[in-house]
Structure 1
Amino acid sequence: MFNIGEVLSQLMSDFPSVTASKIRFYEEKGLISPQRTAAGYRQFREADVERLRFVLALQRDHYLPLKVIREYLDAIDQGQTPQNLPPGVSIAPRMVSDELASAHKGRSRTLTAEQLRAECGASAQMLEAMISYGLVELRDGFFDDHALRVAKVCTDLAAHGLEPRHLRPFQAAAEREFGLVERAVAPLSSRKDGTSAARAAEAAREIAELCLSLHSALVYARISGMEG
């Protein structure tokens, strides 16, 4: 059994942004159920820690809102295999499999330009163009997993004739949408209680998911007109 400080120590290397407030928020949302001592202190099992790792990794790597992750966990708790898991995520029909916990552990990383190019298949010229148009950016001399995701998509689009210079509207749209999300969660962000930051981040993810769904629906509606 671990106390909340020991849980944080186990998670911090992979999830630097995790806090005690965020863990308490997840408990409030029913994603974890730590035991309590007679004095009321939380005690976490190894399974609770891996469950937290599962939730944190799906939020960080796949940008999923908690309501979606909760559906996965509910299915696992019922001995079922969750449907529509993100690509590359597979679990056995139990709480959180050892394989999944291992797969998610250590996902946060930094990449050099050479490593990023090797993983996304971009040429040096392509990477330079993505940087110049603000699609990816270096942080302390390295790229992160978010940059890799963007680079992979940009590289695939280049195969269809859409080069980085054509993709500037996406960057501008992303900044505008983030502005909308930021304003929407401002009342939560301004609060000073312990769980407000976690609540604001979760609300931001849900709003962003809705924005992406709206964007897709509008684009597909126009594509359908091409079929005559």
Structure 2
Amino acid sequence: MAAAQTERRSSGALNIGEVLATLAEEFPSMTASKIRFLEDKGLIAPHRTPAGYRQYSQGDVERLRFVLALQRDQYLPLKVIKDYLDAIDRGERPEGLPPGVSVAPRAVSEELSAHLSTTRPRSLSEAQLRAESGASVALVEAMVSYGLVESANGRFDEHALQVARACVALEDHGLEPRHLRPFQASAEREVGLIERVVAPMASRRDTDARARAAEEARELSEVFLTLHRALVHGLITRMDG
């Protein structure tokens, strides 16, 4: 055992507890079960000793940080993140990377990590929301009134900013928040379906099951969005015909 520890220390490898400690400040809810879950999904592939113990390199830790940041900040499902990492591993530049950011195979560059650290969800005041979206005071009040956005102690999140920008664009076409309430109702029904599907897994107490439930919810949301897009585009195509 002592020899194995010496070998691990000399190679710079970390055990799972040390990985958790490294990520604790940025991702305090991270657990060993979640790390193993991400390994099962093919997001990381730590080295195994002859005795079967996992050894994590700094590259593995950076991949974990990359995955967790995209989940937390961009709400991406693991399948999308894995495709992103697979492209990086092939030496390709995945679509959507900010200009000037470079990536290296099986690792995340310091520049990309720095970019991710600046894209954490923000809390915006109403003034910031209006300034960044172009929404008027009356439009923001209407969005809140019709349930399209919510504020917590006068603060709004990034989702509210996206909704506000969409409402500003739709306002140019004569559509007001009162016309858009069906979108919120539809979203609530879709979330209800997702909750029904993942409820058995989410109700379990172990963290691994809850992580799988959260990931399944993300994947379902992507499928729902694809379905919605296809149905709308199909109806528009029939209009053209």
Flag whether TM exceeds 0.5 (same fold): yes
Aligned pairs for 1:109-148 (under 5 A) are 109-148=122-161
Q: Which amino acid aligns with 2:229?
A: S
Distance change in 2, residues 1:48/1:172 (3 Å): same
CA contact (8 A) 2:20 2:30 kept: no
Which of 33, 37, 43 is the matching residue for 1:25?
A: 37
Please say which of residues 171-180 and 114-123 is displaced more in the overlay. 114-123
**Offset of residue 97 of structure 1:** 2.8
In 1, Cα distance between the equivalents of 2:34 and 2:219?
A: 17
Matched, 1:197 2:210: yes
Matches within 5 A, 1:156-195: 156-195=169-208
Larger Rg: 2
Give the conservation status (yes or no) of the 8 Å contact 1:111–1:143: yes
Asked if 1:8 corresponds to 2:23, the answer is: yes
Q: Which amino acid aligns with 2:83?
A: E
Aligned length, in residue pairs: 223
Deviates more, 1:153-162 or 1:30-39: 30-39
State the distance in 2 between where 1:90 and 1:167 align. 38
Output the amino acid matched with 1:23.
Answer: I
Letter of the 1:5 partner, please give it. Answer: L
Q: Distance in 1 between matches of 2:99 and 2:25?
A: 22
**Structure 1 partner of 2:102:** 92
Amino acid across the alignment from 1:183: R
> CA-atom RMSD, angstroms?
2.6
Deviations 1:99-144 (A, max 9, x none): 2221111422211111111111111111111111111111243111
Q: Distance in 2 between matches of 1:89 and 1:185?
A: 37
Moved more, 211-220 or 175-184: 211-220
Displacement after TM superposition at 1:92 (Å): 2.7
Q: Is the 8 A contact 1:8 1:20 kept in 2?
A: no
Alpha-carbon distance, 1:50 to partner: 3.1
Higher RCO (C-alpha under 8 Å, 6+ residues apart):
1
Distance 1:143 1:42, change over 3 A: farther
- Identify the residue that residue 104 of structure 1 maps to in structure 2: 116
Counterpart code for 1:25: F
- State the 1:53 CA deviation: 3.0
TM-score by length of 1: 0.85
Shift in alpha-carbon separation, 1:183–1:42, aligned structure 2, 3 A = same
SS in 2 for 1:195: helix
The 1:160–1:64 alpha-carbon spacing in structure 2 relative to 1, beyond 3 Å, is same
Distance 2:26 2:117 in 1: 9
Distance in 2, Cα, partners of 1:89 & 1:201: 31
TM-score in terms of structure 2 length: 0.81
Tell me if structure 2 keeps the 8 A contact 1:53–1:104. Answer: no
1:151 paired to 2:164:
yes
Say whether the 8 Å CA contact 2:23–2:65 is kept in structure 1.
no
Residue 230 of structure 2 corresponds to 217
Assess, with a 3 A threshold, how the Cα gap between structure 1 residues 141 and 19 changes in structure 2: closer, same or farther: farther
Distance 1:61 1:86 in 2: 14
Unaligned runs of 5+ in 2: 1-11
- The change in CA–CA distance for 1:220 and 1:43 in structure 2 (over 3 A counts) is same
Q: What pairs up with 1:13-92 in 2 under 5 angstroms?
A: 18-34=30-46, 44-82=56-94, 85-86=95-96, 88=98, 91-92=101-102
1:14-55 Cα deviation digits (max 9, x unpaired): xx6544433332122221234568997766444334322322
Q: Is the 8 A contact 1:76 1:93 kept in 2?
A: yes
The aligned amino acid for 1:104 is L
Moved more, 57-66 or 152-161: 57-66
